[in-house]
């Protein structure tokens, strides 16, 4: 009988250690890499100045540029209104933390934006020196 009682105690102790170890891992701060995220918080037109506010987070050690783009939704095919901004890699802090940036968008020649325009706004990470490849991590459609 003593050996059965000893085996039960050992098994119970092992189960308790496993449960406590799993609980402490679940409650510990994330040491694993989190995804490279971007969300567009706001897009606005103040006077003639276009801007967008983004919240971003990226893995430690990565070197990205952040590219933002605004395009007028209802426009003719031959007249595209577009505004872009690029934040260089040395201005992006990749450390798993959520950070907020305000991008000042520069309209391309011939672009025209006014209050009330419906626009599509995108944001993406790209490698330094590369241009936006029309991909995006974040996209919103809003009215200026």
Q: How does pLDDT run along the chain (144 residues), one tens digit per residue?
A: 455 666 666 666 655 555 555 544 444 444 444 567 889 999 999 988 999 999 998 888 878 889 999 999 887 766 788 999 999 989 988 888 899 999 999 999 989 899 999 999 999 988 887 766 566 678 888 888
Cα dihedral 124, 63, 128, 87 in deg (nearest 10) = 60
What residues does 58 pair with on adjacent strands?
none
Side-chain half-sphere exposure of 42, counting CA atoms within 13 A: 11
Residue 129: count other Cβ atoms within 10 Å of its Cβ.
Answer: 8
Tokens 């105690």: give the residue: 9
Residue 122: exposure state from Cβ atoms within 10 A (0-12, 13-18, ≥19): buried
pLDDT at position 51: 95
- Give CA–CA dist 50/116, Å, rounded: 13
pLDDT at position 41: 94
pTM of the full structure: 0.70
Residue 56: count other Cβ atoms within 10 Å of its Cβ.
Answer: 24
Beta-strand pair 37-46/49-57: antiparallel
Q: Report helix, strand or coil for 15.
A: helix
């Amino acid at each position: 009988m003593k050996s059965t009682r000893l085996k039960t105690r050992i098994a119970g102790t092992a189960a308790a250690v496993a449960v406590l170890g799993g609980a402490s891992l679940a409650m510990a701060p994330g040491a694993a890499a989190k995804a490279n995220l971007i969300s567009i918080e706001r897009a606005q037109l103040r006077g003639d100045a276009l801007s967008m506010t983004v919240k971003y987070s990226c893995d430690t050690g990565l070197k990205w540029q952040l590219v933002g783009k605004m395009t007028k939704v209802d426009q003719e095919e031959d007249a595209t209104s577009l505004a872009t901004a690029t934040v260089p890699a040395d201005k992006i802090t990749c450390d798993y933390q959520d950070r907020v940036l305000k991008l000042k968008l520069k309209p391309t020649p011939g672009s025209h934006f006014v209050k009330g325009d419906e626009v599509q706004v995108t944001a993406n990470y790209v490698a330094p020196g590369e241009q936006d490849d029309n991909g995006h991590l974040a996209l919103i459609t809003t009215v200026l």
